[in-house]
Amino acid sequence: MSNFTLEDLVQYLYKETSELKIAAIKAALKTDWKLREAFNQLKSGQKNLEEVEISPREESVNKILQHITKKQGQLFSH
């Protein structure tokens, strides 16, 4: 694999690196099959993460709301 780390590939994937590094990674991806395989796995993981729907449990939301209500009551009672 080229001298690029997984962190470099993640930054490239999310467009969070310099133009110079982008060009170097693009060139390396054309010739280095191990690097390309690692990048394709990251891309696949990114796609899977985008499809995940996350929401808090109702119990957690209720506890937060109870805590806020309690704090508001303490503020107004002083």
Report if residue 62 sits inside a domain: yes
Report if residue 11 sits inside a domain: yes
Report if residue 63 sits inside a domain: yes
pTM metric for this prediction: 0.63
- What does the pLDDT read at residue 77? 64
Work out how many domains the chain is built from and give that number. 1
Report if residue 12 sits inside a domain: yes
pLDDT digits (tens, 9 = 90+) for 21-61: 999 999 999 999 999 999 999 999 999 888 877 888 999 99
| Residue-range definition of the domain harbouring residue 34 | 6-77
Report if residue 1 sits inside a domain: no
**CA-based R_g, the chain, Å:** 23
> What span, in angstroms and rounded, lies between the C-alpha atoms of 39 and 10?
8
Report if residue 57 sits inside a domain: yes
Q: Nearest CA to 11 among 63, 19, 34, 51?
A: 19
